[in-house]
Structure 1
Amino acid sequence: MTANRLDEIHIVCELRCETADRERVRELALQFVEPARAEEGCLYYNLHQKQGEPNTFLIIDGWANQAAVDSHSQNAHVASVMKELGPLLTFGPVLTFTTRVSD
């Protein structure tokens, strides 16, 4: 594994909501995707919905390094979407930060 890959940070962000808010939460969470993908250092950024638990969404994203993660977390767009999304959540956002072990 190259040193560059050792710098990568991969994140799983879990969000949960009530059934009544599910479609709005989905719409809002989708607003993160394209802007994040355009950010410098973004390796990938995807929204998933948990099978069997449709009120649970996962954002799974990868970043080239800690500086890219820091820049993303300070992005005004993220804060803007979270203003509306946050009150609709029953759980989260819970972030799990990982580094790659395998090639």
Structure 2
Amino acid sequence: MHELYSVIGFAYPKPGRATDLKEILTSFVEPTRQEEGCLEYHFHQDGPDAFAFYEVWRSKEDLDRHLALPHMKAFWESRMDYLERDLEIHFVTMLSPYPRATT
């Protein structure tokens, strides 16, 4: 089995923009889960001023295809309208076995 591509990210909204940012990021959940190659996609809130997301993709190519979608490109270009500081993104290696087949 090939190595999965995992992402953990954090978003910190500007004052007064948390609700807007939450709505945008929440709107990405279901469509992203339907994309080819998306194995996990979760969105979390940590108090009023922090959001986190966790993603697992079958490959980097699948993630790249996701990021090239029009709504993702639009968000990337306007993200600083909502964020106190840029997204904190970590690409991590999954060490535990993935529970279902990925091929």
TM normalised by structure 2 equals 0.82
Name the % identity.
25
Q: Can you list the C-alpha shifts for 1:77-98, whole angstroms capped at 9, x where unaligned?
A: 2122344543110022121111
Residue correspondences, number: 97
Which residue in 1 is equivalent to 2:100?
none
TM normalised by structure 1 equals 0.82
Cα offset, 1:24, TM superposition: 1.0
Q: Does 1:80 align with 2:74?
A: yes
For 2:80 and 2:25, locate their aligned partners in 1 and report how far apart those are by CA, in whole Å. 10
Structure 2: give runs of 5+ residues left out of the alignment. Answer: 98-103
For 1:25 and 1:57, locate their aligned partners in 2 and report how far apart those are by CA, in whole Å. 9
Greater strand proportion: 1
Structure 1: give runs of 5+ residues left out of the alignment. Answer: none
Greater helix proportion: 1
Which residue in 2 is equivalent to 1:28?
24
RMSD over equivalenced CA pairs, Å: 1.6
